[in-house]
Structure 1
Amino acid sequence: LFSFCKAKEDLLNELKFQGILYSDLPQLASDMPYFPPDEEEDNFEEGIHLVVCVHGLDGNSADLRLVKTFIELGLPASKLDFLMSERNQTDTFADFDTMTDRLLDEIIQHIQLYNLTIHRISFIGHSLGNIIIRSVLTRPRFRYYLNKLHTFLSLSGPHLGTLYNSSALVSTGLWLMQKLKKSGSLLQLTFRDNTDPRKTFLYLLSQKPGLQYFKNVVLVASPQDRYVPFHSARIEMCRTALKDRSTGPVYAEMINNLLQPVIEAKECTLIRQNVFHALPNTANTLIGRAAHIAVLDSELFLEKFFLVTGLNYFK
């Protein structure tokens, strides 16, 4: 026990990070056993809690299957219905407007097809999928559901794009991929879709309302992730942007556009979760890909995250 406490103290000192480790929390998010209750729920008159899971670049509908599994295991008596989005899985290199239309159509058709009475809607996105989710919130056809929004769980979401990526290798790779695939989404993530940064897709999206309608906005980020910059996933300033006199002020405006409405919304809570993965010494770890996908396929992380705190956001 002494060695464990000493290791924790050394870790926090080394990181110079003022935060709370999950092992210091007095209680867990769930103490329910991993099996269904004896009796089924009596009725669904109040409606169900629809959870929409959206994959990232070059992903598919199965990417968030473990996320879905651990929520179902931890909340067996909840009235949850999962939509594992698949409409964009054949073409995630399209522009965001096109992918937004596809996801919005998929959500509305899912609700109508199964004749669902919606009580709450939550979104879980990975990487690029988080931008599509935020874009859906701005569409007139989704306006009816804004007052039903509950939790937005963002897993490594490039909310500020990839402009100040610390990895030159990844930046070069994304540039090559954009050229080869003629990808509209990658062009927009790097702010190269317009010569005026204030007319780019991400900047214009930051000016539109969306996040403040949620009860919980949970931003999960890892400094080991080189695909999506740590500051972008957390929606905060970085040193490089502070030194950049041309685009830096625009970057600061984007952050303010996104966070100010959330801060002013009395019923909205912003939570930032920093993740440090125990990763093997491989090429994927070196380029930052391992940490980027660990939030999807690491059973150790997902079980700890949902058991300790994550399930609270879906109750």
Structure 2
Amino acid sequence: MGTALNCNICFIGGGNMAQALIGGLISRGLPATRITVSDPVEKVRQLLQEKDVQVMDDNIAAIQDANIVVLAVKPQVLGNILKSLKGLCDEKLIISIVAGAEISTISALIGTERVVRVMPNTPALVQTGAHGMYATAAVDAKDRELATQVLAATGLTLWVDSEAQIDAVTAVSGSGPAYFFYMMESMIRAGKNMGLDEKVATALTLQTALGAAQMAITSANSPAELRKNVTSPNGTTQAALEVFDRAQISQNIQTALAAAQKRSQELAQELSDSTK
């Protein structure tokens, strides 16, 4: 195999994240004819057919000519799906975006150790995702590059050093969009309480979030330094930040992410136990 754009890629599951990856890959030059999707839901298959990809509801037939198989199904159905594919994927690279599915669980069920585990996030739907990736030594450099190319079609890709760190990735970026949406909700509500029209409060909040993120991405300064640059002594920003500090917002955020990490670990264990 050469690059991912020269591979046949099969998606088991055609939901939102799979559709995001498919759209990204096609936009980067992968011919739609090289993509096959297996999904049991007819409406999903019909939607994907509009992208000119091959669709079917037979997982075994779908993976037959694939070089790369992307697992994009719900955790609760993963066990039965992988058991049906056992022994059929020895020559294929497996990329899993299934939440909580550890590599050892996938490998035991499908019969190959060429597995890359990915924790994506929903901004992949607009090509601004952040994907944490991990693989064991059974996945060589060429396979890692192929996996990177597949996920990079929808955003940032970062490899972590241990599978345990995927739980931290889940807490930071996997669940992360919801934290920012929560902050946006609160800011919009505050704007309305202070007399702004809802549309005005929403537009100001969303553009401010976009601008702050863009500044943090492009600036040589850290977010902490950028915050200090906006905070004039005894000014309006300081007044707001002092309220945050009194409420221990920073500490509470760290506690919340630790709770998300712990729940990610628990879900992985529950999935492992359920597939034995």
Q: Which has the higher contact order (CA 8 A, sep 6+)?
A: 1
Shorter-chain TM-score above 0.5 = no
TM-score by length of 1: 0.31
User: Whose radius of gyration is greater, 1 or 2?
Assistant: 2
TM-score by length of 2: 0.34
